[in-house]
Amino acid sequence: MSWLEKILPPKIKRSAGPSKKNVPEGLWSKCPKCDSVLYRTDLEANAEVCPKCAYHSRISARDRLNLLLDAKGRKEIAAEVEPVDPLKFQDSKKYVDRVKSAQSEVGEKDALIVMQGSINAVPVVVAVFEFKFMGGSMGSVVGERFVRGVQAAIASKSAFICISASGGARMQEGLFSLMQMAKTSAALTKLSEAQLPFISVLTDPTMGGVSASFAMLGDVIVAEPQALIGFAGPRVIEQTVRETLPEGFQRAEFLLEHGAVDIIVDRREMRDRLSNIITALMNKPAPTKQ
């Protein structure tokens, strides 16, 4: 069990590994929420959202980008920024080995992918977390790629979008990871000076150091339905306060009710809603839905 699986409540855990892998060649898939048996192809065509109960499964960063961005004119940013091991960190496994195995399992160099492109022909730079890469944890590479994404947005006068899915700071880089919270937040001041919108999209889960930095600094903060969002993990809170947590605690709907996020948006509407918000904030003509 990875450290991230450990801190997640059981409900989330069950849904964590998309059931793809258990089904031979993925003909069928069972919704972890409502138990409906679904055709994989139907689910894929439906942005990995259950057509029966609208449960949003976790998706990879590349799938997310494919869903969100127009097919043409994409350019990856800061892919050349790769992790090192600044503290020669070792727990039960060496950090360098953990990184290597994550790289080969996930097929990404680190936990954040940044892409320049457009949504309904509205230019944007999008940063997306890959949760499968060490729990989407933020270390030096995530911080640096984020900053370069912000810089690219400023250079191209585009809006900047970040889609978070992260357990928080990456422990294996020690204080370097903590400092990424300050670094990413500071970079957003420049985007603000350039009067460009920052849209923060919180998906399941957005916790710890990611939640307590740029993710909560969006001009507009969007959440996906049911996403777990918070500073401290539910287990840590339960152990600290020694009470049972209220129903729906730290879910997107809970945050909306408490005034922490602006809107909850269904993944299937994300393109249209984001391009709508961005064009309005940038005083541009309304987008043509594609």
Find tokens 């640096």 and name the residue: 144
Report in angstroms how near the CB of residue 2 gets to other proteins at its nearest.
9
Q: Fill in the amino acid letter for 240.
A: T
CA distances from 25 to 21, 41, 107, 282 (A): 8, 11, 20, 45
Residue 183, interface with other proteins (CB under 8 A)? yes
Q: Determine the 3-state secondary structure of 55 from DSSP.
A: coil
Residue 259, interface with other proteins (CB under 8 A)? yes
Taking CB under 8 A as the binding criterion, the range among 17-25, 34-42, 48-56, 239-247 that sits at the site for other proteins is 239-247
Q: Which of 54, 178, 256, 281 binds other proteins (CB under 8 A)?
A: 178
User: Please, what is the end-to-end C-alpha distance for the chain in angstroms?
Assistant: 42
User: What character string, x for contact with other proteins (CB under 8 A) and - otherwise, covers 121-150?
Assistant: ------------------xxx-xx--x---
Q: Determine the 3-state secondary structure of 180 from DSSP.
A: helix
Structure tokens at 32: 């972890």
Of 158, 162, 134, the closest CA to residue 147 belongs to 162
**Gap between the Cα atoms of 115 and 79, Å rounded:** 9
Structure tokens at 240: 């600290």
Residue 197, interface with other proteins (CB under 8 A)? no
Taking CB under 8 A as the binding criterion, the range among 63-71, 87-95, 124-132, 264-272 that sits at the site for other proteins is 87-95
Taking CB under 8 A as the binding criterion, the range among 42-50, 66-74, 121-129, 178-186 that sits at the site for other proteins is 178-186
**Gap between the Cα atoms of 203 and 180, Å rounded:** 20
Residue 3, interface with other proteins (CB under 8 A)? yes
Which residues of this chain interact with other proteins, rule CB under 8 A? 3, 6-7, 80-84, 86-87, 89-92, 109, 139-141, 143-144, 147, 169, 171-183, 185-189, 208-209, 211-217, 229-233, 236-237, 240-241, 243, 245-246, 249-250, 258-260
